Structure 1
């Protein structure tokens, strides 16, 4: 065993102690585990071996949000008693800016990690908001490792909300909306201090048409805040800024967990989960939660009376930048990035068919060298738009997307996934949730990693078909935990039922090794207030399959994808002829498609009419005659030269306008 002593020096040159908020993570590169959140100044007893060290600390700054720093020793070969000192004065400042001056808001993330195997990594993430916080990162001079990786990620946009104290000199205050929507525009309300917002606190306080500052404990529940805001409204207040005063143990840092030695992992989050309140609990007035070093200054300005604020609320952001700067081996010496639009991929994000009650939320992850980077790594997505488009700019490379649904119903579902390769200077358009939604096989499953959606390994046939993939091919599966998604999946072998499961698109069967003819059937009904299209999806496939040695191989299932020219409400013109482009492909690769038949229904699948189909080699045009109003349901039959077939039916595929 060897002694490893861990020391750190903050940005002011002062040694960190066990009582400071400076910690280490010690990761064994030889499979010996990991020590989390070890306070600086600690001496560990460790076996001889190779280790990666990451240390982080917060350095207070008078009148400003604290400076944050993270440093790494990528690979320490521990053979004898050793002391490692991380001097954060050697770290470089992490920032990013673009050639659009008004883009000053957003969130950033620094990540440091090591690869321990093909699919195994250990990492530390440090979020920050560069408008208010300084972030520094670096490696110990003269050190590097092939296993080490680094990423600086930035989601930049024009701030949706700016809040300033106006006296004696304007100062910015970090704020996030937690209540009723703020009216778009600029205003300069007078300030009033409402204490804890109780009747006795508000008695005698002039607050009509004012922004009222409330000071509440850091662990205040959303229900309590909603009650206090109602009281403010009854006394004539127009808006509320709530300061959830942090506990004394963290007042000099940021609103974190509160224990000495806590890492920076939540530094950019509000100090309480007020933003997660249910609709019924949201404050009835426009309300913001204020945090950071200037929150106390803002509250003091309201307390002394006579102060004013400046509030700027902007509409939904239409331009955003998703930037990622990865590195391997060690952290680059230069971490301040200035980027031009011409160096990025321009992506038009189109959001089809969503509603204000169930809006989308987008998560974007940069995939590089087997590592996943991006501000969405913390699980917090970016609000999407409702039936609208937004221009976004991306660092060139491969990006994985997850578009989720923010629903007020107990069951959610509605997730869509995709992957795109972007090139610098190129333009792209990504349509999300666009009709027609149905079975699709783009990409592969995440779990098990890189497995086909429907595959066979040895004698196991594993089915996980995305029955709700959108018209662009973004894959969406039924939510097996949501009561709104119901259905079944069955497998027939040589004409006889082999097995069935009461889950839509999902089943596992253990079949005999001998090759045989199979028929796979599945159906799903979606009964959700946010899902008015593709409310019933049914499909069947015929194919042959036998024992497969080694990794899972994709089954030869055919996919029929419709891509009609619908608007952002997923509607097409009624009362006129309409052509729907259709492609037929196969999950396991190229195939010779021998034919396609399509029927249309305008009464929800009660009666069907054959449509004229033209085209060949998997690309077809389907000619329809739309009635004036209603919806269109579609049914297709396709086959290939190997004898594989499919029949698919989609009820309420798109609507008519």
Structure 2
């Protein structure tokens, strides 16, 4: 059982008059339970009592509690002789009362058998359960909230019991189910207001579903195709819920999503290169189809949009400088990628101020230095990254210059190291390139006679703050011999939105070209980035 909400406050006799409470907990056979986790909360105010995982002795627990209304949640885990979980049962007992001034013991009998309703989910196409959770959102009489969750993995059954609308506070219930087959899956959320329903059989109907077609691009330099998909449900009441399933890159994985409440789904993909890409949270609309491209080459450091909850890697806070290239981009609009800890084959970043080296790091975490003067300066970051870890893996060399002024845009009080209520984080004017190569198949191979690249160049933005200096120049070059020689690509467009093109000659069949991009804005901030093994030229021209 998982709990979320306000921190527990144990009452004292100085604050409340306490009465003895005894919990008699039994398993399915009626014997004293040894397989239960029990929580008791006061629903007049959680601050009066929240007793988590009350200790049981021979199926009995004794606590002191103030008079009032209560809810009890007990999670039972049944196991076979080998210790494998065979079922999980969550018992919820609400509108319990501890009277005042009786002098006697208030006893609550908690039987595992109360949770007799198995949660089942039907889908339009056959799918095997990957995970299942039952979440109860409880609000006390003061408006404070807590969430109780029972979770199972695989095909383990989960049983619950019906709960009526409470007399004190409010209650809602959400069932989150994930299931899959070979090339598709379901991520479903069913919300019931004011109660836990007696009928725990849910059916996802085609008209309720949004279809998300995930095209998973496999880097030409990586032998493994194994990755992972995480579906993230963000609900204003219940918070975050996650589902997981394996994902095979080089294929298309279709996900059918549903939320009958206010939750919004987003998706994350971890590539075989150990890069985890996140998409923006979307309110997928029932009956509509969406397409997401994941890991479509090349994968390289880039600027991104950062909101609350994630620190700025290119910011100053007073004399503290944070400088790093932790965000990676693929061709997916709005995707933000990060390398899993310790996974890149190699990474090295050196930072300069007005031409003087001020630090270097081999960690993908931002380099932080202190004591920087609060005067105008030019910061420079030079980073080399090997994502793939093989001779054909994608590598990149990024060289940035950023003009710092003490009045740089503020990103908020505490979104970077050194930031505080009185020392805001200020966003450095980092330029980033976003690559979208046309005509690639799922192995990042192009068979078109002329390659097209949609290139966008923009600035880092943190909580809506960042440079608004116009992008004034860009170039694109391509190399077929590992960077020994370069050919200038044809480039059209302006103001950060460009289309580049170059030939995919038959004589270069099987070659993995390198791409070099430069860009500048009106304020003098610059970007130079070289990406090797950006894609593969196929043989059918």
TM range (shorter): 0.7 to 0.9
Distance in 1, Cα, partners of 2:79 & 2:345: 51
Q: With structure 2 as the length reference, what TM-score do the two structures score?
A: 0.75
Equivalent residues, number = 475
Distance in 1, Cα, partners of 2:376 & 2:69: 53
Alignment RMSD: 3.9
Shift of residue 540 of structure 1? Answer: 1.4
Shift of residue 388 of structure 1? Answer: 0.9
- Establish whether residue 431 from structure 1 lines up as the match of residue 431 from structure 2: no
- Establish whether residue 498 from structure 1 lines up as the match of residue 358 from structure 2: yes
Q: List aligned pairs for 1:247-262, cutoff 5 A.
A: none
- 2:122 aligned partner: 97
Match of 1:24 among 38, 42, 53: 38
Match of 1:320 among 166, 175, 185: 185
Secondary structure at the aligned position of 1:430 is classed as strand
The structure with the greater share of residues assigned to helix is: 1
- 1:42 aligned partner: 61
- 2:211 aligned partner: 346
- 1:135 aligned partner: 159
Would you say the 8 A contact 1:349–1:429 is kept in 2? yes
- Establish whether residue 125 from structure 1 lines up as the match of residue 150 from structure 2: yes
- 2:479 aligned partner: 601
Distance in 1, Cα, partners of 2:237 & 2:106: 32
Would you say the 8 A contact 1:30–1:49 is kept in 2? no
Secondary structure at the aligned position of 2:400 is classed as strand
Would you say the 8 A contact 2:41–2:71 is kept in 1? yes
Match of 1:611 among 480, 489, 497: 489
- Establish whether residue 361 from structure 1 lines up as the match of residue 228 from structure 2: yes
Would you say the 8 A contact 2:232–2:240 is kept in 1? yes
Distance in 1, Cα, partners of 2:131 & 2:245: 10
Would you say the 8 A contact 1:71–1:91 is kept in 2? no
Match of 1:476 among 317, 337, 342: 337
Match of 2:276 among 388, 407, 415: 415
Match of 2:402 among 542, 552, 576: 542
- 1:635 aligned partner: 516
Shift of residue 634 of structure 1? Answer: 1.4
- 1:523 aligned partner: 383
CA-to-aligned-CA distance 1:171-226 (integer Å, 9 cap, x gap): xxxxxxxxxxxxxxxxxxxxxxxxxxxxxxxxxxxxxxxxxxxxxxxxxxxxxxxx
- Gaps spanning 5+ residues in structure 1: where? 159-316, 407-411
Shift of residue 90 of structure 1? Answer: 7.4
Secondary structure at the aligned position of 2:60 is classed as coil
Shift of residue 465 of structure 1? Answer: 2.7
Q: List aligned pairs for 1:89-238, cutoff 5 A.
A: 89=114, 93-100=118-125, 102-103=126-127, 105-112=129-136, 123-127=148-152, 133=157, 135-139=159-163, 142=166, 145=169, 150-158=173-181
Would you say the 8 A contact 2:457–2:497 is kept in 1? yes
Secondary structure at the aligned position of 1:603 is classed as coil
- Gaps spanning 5+ residues in structure 2: where? 1-12, 416-424
Moved more, 414-423 or 341-350: 414-423
Would you say the 8 A contact 1:611–1:622 is kept in 2? yes
Shift of residue 587 of structure 1? Answer: 1.7
- Establish whether residue 567 from structure 1 lines up as the match of residue 441 from structure 2: yes
Match of 2:252 among 382, 389, 404: 389
CA-to-aligned-CA distance 1:285-321 (integer Å, 9 cap, x gap): xxxxxxxxxxxxxxxxxxxxxxxxxxxxxxxx12211
Shift of residue 435 of structure 1? Answer: 0.6
